[in-house]
């Protein structure tokens, strides 16, 4: 199934016109889904109740296939007929579908893993939780606190939780000596849903000229090779005649944008590095997430990579 990424596409259209998991596992704190959206019935999708009980004889492969069928019902819902509140509620339910499956998989995995492997997977899960929180926060920031924000956050949470569910399902299948494969079209959407911060920085790596006459650039470089490298960081971002920041200052990110927050005397400064529709990069600045209106546009053709 080819993912449409409906929420993001619809979301950005609305912006143009309108101007965490509750884990039941030890020491794991998922971003709570009930803080992002209202829990309400929606006539477009029937409630899911059969995920609570897993058949003892059902394979992990068949289990995930059933959840995927239900997920497709959400994806193919009549989104065009809905108002914003309905879309917020439906994306919340869609996220909850995968959140419930993730928690179920983790519960069984925790019981069946040996102690050494469980410790490794636990650390991996904690890292994923942090990455998810950053992605959800970055997605929501695009709406600047508007009515679209829950939809953007829920959609990102759903995509990432779905991707993680497949990873945990593979682990559980391995423990049980079951065969488990991810169809190529699903693997493609999973890869898109859960980029690492390092992956996103790599998309921006280079020196992007915004004033060719004076050679002014926005530079995105690995700290180890950057003349202005920020100590203790992996990536450094600098602007000719302007500020320097790093991955240590990241507030949130998505697959195509990174938001930075830097404490100044008496206020916080926010910056956003993103791609525009012309595949040029934009570097925006402001004193709040909804007021980053000081924008530098860099020509894609002037990109220089070392």
Q: pLDDT band at 185, cuts 50/70/90?
A: confident
pLDDT at residue 30 greater than cutoff 90: no
Structure tokens that stand for 194 in this block: 């859960």
pLDDT at residue 6 greater than cutoff 60: no
Structure tokens that stand for 45 in this block: 């999708």
Domain extents in the chain:
6-193, 197-302
Alpha helices in 20-114 (DSSP H): 60-75, 84-112
Compute the distance between CA of residue 24 and CA of residue 47 in angstroms, rounded to an integer: 21
CA-based torsion, 79, 85, 86, 92: positive or negative: positive
**For residue 153, what pLDDT is reported?**
94
Helices and strands per DSSP (H, E), number in the chain? 7, 9
pLDDT at residue 143 greater than cutoff 80: no
Q: What is the pLDDT of residues 212-226, one digit of tens each?
A: 888 899 999 999 999
Contact 186, 169 (CB under 8 A): no
Query: Considering the entire predicted model, what is its pTM?
Result: 0.68
Structure tokens that stand for 181 in this block: 């494969």
pLDDT at residue 146 greater than cutoff 60: yes
Average pLDDT score over residue span 170-185:
94
Lowest mean pLDDT among 60-64, 99-103, 284-288: 284-288
Q: What is the pLDDT of residues 205-254, one digit of tens each?
A: 999 999 988 889 999 999 999 999 999 999 999 999 889 999 999 988 88
In sequence order, what are the residues at sequence separation of 6 or more whose Cβ sits closer than 8 angstroms to the Cβ of residue 152?
7, 8, 11, 139, 140, 142, 143
Q: What is the pLDDT of residues 126-139, one digit of tens each?
A: 989 988 988 898 88
Q: pLDDT band at 301, cuts 50/70/90?
A: low
Instruction: Strands of 182-256 (E only): list them.
Output: 206-211, 216-222, 235-239, 244-246, 250-254
Tell me if residue 75 falls in helix, strand or coil: helix
Tell me if residue 266 falls in helix, strand or coil: coil
Q: What b/e readout covers 247-285, taking b as 16+ CB neighbours within 10 angstroms?
A: bebbbbbbbbbbbbeeeeeeeebbbbbbeeeeebbbbbb
In sequence order, what are the residues at sequence separation of 6 or more whose Cβ sits closer than 8 angstroms to the Cβ of residue 199?
none
Better-scored residue on pLDDT, 260 or 43: 260
Compute the distance between CA of residue 215 and CA of residue 239 in angstroms, rounded to an integer: 11
Structure tokens that stand for 31 in this block: 């971003």
Q: pLDDT band at 56, cuts 50/70/90?
A: low
């Amino acid at each position: 199934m080819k993912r449409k990424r409906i929420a993001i596409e619809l979301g950005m259209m609305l912006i143009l016109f309108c101007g965490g998991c509750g884990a039941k596992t030890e020491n794991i704190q998922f971003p709570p889904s009930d803080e992002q959206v209202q829990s309400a019935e929606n006539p477009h999708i029937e409630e899911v109740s059969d995920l609570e009980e897993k058949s003892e004889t059902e394979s992990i492969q068949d289990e995930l296939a059933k959840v995927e069928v239900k997920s497709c019902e959400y994806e193919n819902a009549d989104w065009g007929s809905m108002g914003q509140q309905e879309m917020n509620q439906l994306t919340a339910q869609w996220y909850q579908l995968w959140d419930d499956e993730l928690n179920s998989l983790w519960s069984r995995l925790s019981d069946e893993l040996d102690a050494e492997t469980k410790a490794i997977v636990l650390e991996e899960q904690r890292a994923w939780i942090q990455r998810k929180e950053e992605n959800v926060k970055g997605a929501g920031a695009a709406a600047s606190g508007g009515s679209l924000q829950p939809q953007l956050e829920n959609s990102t949470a759903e995509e990432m939780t779905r991707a993680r569910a497949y990873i945990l399902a593979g682990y559980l299948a391995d423990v049980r000596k079951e065969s488990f494969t991810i169809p190529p079209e699903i693997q493609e959407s999973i890869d898109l849903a859960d980029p690492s911060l390092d992956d996103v920085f790599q998309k921006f790596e280079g020196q992007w000229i915004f004033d060719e006459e004076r050679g002014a650039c926005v530079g995105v470089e690995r700290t180890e090779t950057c003349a202005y490298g920020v100590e203790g960081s992996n990536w450094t971002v600098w602007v000719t005649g302007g500020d320097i920041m790093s991955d240590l200052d990241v507030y949130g990110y998505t697959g195509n944008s990174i938001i930075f927050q830097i404490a100044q005397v008496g206020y916080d400064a926010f910056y956003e590095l993103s791609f525009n529709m012309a595949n040029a990069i934009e570097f925006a600045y402001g004193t709040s997430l909804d007021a980053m209106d000081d924008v530098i546009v860099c020509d894609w053709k002037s990109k220089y990579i070392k």
